[in-house]
Structure 1
Amino acid sequence: MITYRTDYRPGLEEARDLYHASTLGERRPIDDDARFAAMLAHANLIVTAWDDERLVGISRCVTDFVWTTYLADLAVRASHQRAGIGKELIRRSQSAAPQAKVLLLAAPAAERYYPHIGFQHFPQAWMLRENETVS
């Protein structure tokens, strides 16, 4: 049985193991301890999923709780995918800030997943790439 928690922030090694097992680690700086630790520390909404004592999923968000929730990371162990865990993590993140809209940047492999659960694509979003500055 999967349980969900909002009262626990995973440690660096625990989170790193999950990110590796979900393939999200391929697109996050999980081997840069300082940067990865800061990512976890500065998220102000984290929902975790557990299979007994094993961390199997995480929703890592930055939110103001009334206007916008940025879903920075959604990771579910490959062994636990397609069981509704990701959807439930998003639902619980959304219910923590019910007035806020949920925004995310989808990994290429997950682009088809999000419309399936109700997300809409908004092409007017813009992103300043890493290591670039406003000119």
Structure 2
Amino acid sequence: MITYRTDCVPDIATARALYRSCSLGARRPIDDDARFGAMLANANLTVTAWDGDQLVGISRSMTDYGFTTYLADLAVSQTYQRLGIGKELIRLTQAAAPEAKIVLLAAPAAVDYYPHIGFDHHASAWLLSGPLR
């Protein structure tokens, strides 16, 4: 039985194990304790999914609770995918900030997932990865 929590942020080792168990671990600095720890500590809306004491999913967001929620990470362990856990993590994220629109950058492997559950593609998003020119 999967339980969902909004009252805890997993420690680095627990979160690292989850990220390694899915494709998101390859695109996040999970071996840099300072950066990964900051990612976990500074998200102001974290929803987790647990199978007993095992972390099997996380939705890590920054939100103003009024207009925008940036869903930075949605990670579900590979062995727990296709069970509705990701969708429930997003539903609970949305429920915590119901007036805010959820915005995200999809991982390449998840591009087809988000339209399937109701997200619309937005063609005018921009990404700044380096310094301003």
What number of residue pairs does the alignment pair up? 133
Query: 1:23 and 1:63 mapped to 2: Cα distance?
Result: 24
The 3-state SS of whatever aligns with 1:25 is helix
Q: Which residue of 2 aligns with 1:70?
A: 70
Shift of 1:86: 0.1
Paired position in structure 1 for 2:131: 133
After the TM superposition, which segments of 4 or more aligned residues of structure 1 sit over 4 Å from their partners? none
Structure 2: any 5+ residue segments left out of the alignment? none
Superposition TM-score, scaled by structure 2 size: 0.99
Note the C-alpha offset of 1:66.
Answer: 0.5
Confirm whether residue 94 of structure 1 aligns to residue 109 of structure 2: no
* 1:90 Cα deviation from its structure 2 partner: 0.2
Aligned to 1:13: 13
Distance 1:93 1:83 in 2: 17
| Structure 1 unmatched ranges of 5 or more | none
Once the two structures are superposed, the pairs formed by residues 30-69 of structure 1 within 5 Å of their partners are 30-69=30-69
Q: Distance in 1 between matches of 2:39 and 2:99?
A: 24
Give the deviation of 1:108 after TM superposition. 0.4
Output the CA distance in 1 between the equivalents of 2:113 and 2:107. Answer: 10
State the one-letter code of the partner of 2:11. Answer: G
Kindly state the Cα deviation for residue 75 of structure 1 after the two structures are TM-superposed: 0.2
Aligned-pair identity (%): 65
Give RMSD over aligned pairs.
0.5
Separation of aligned partners in 2, 1:133 and 1:13: 31
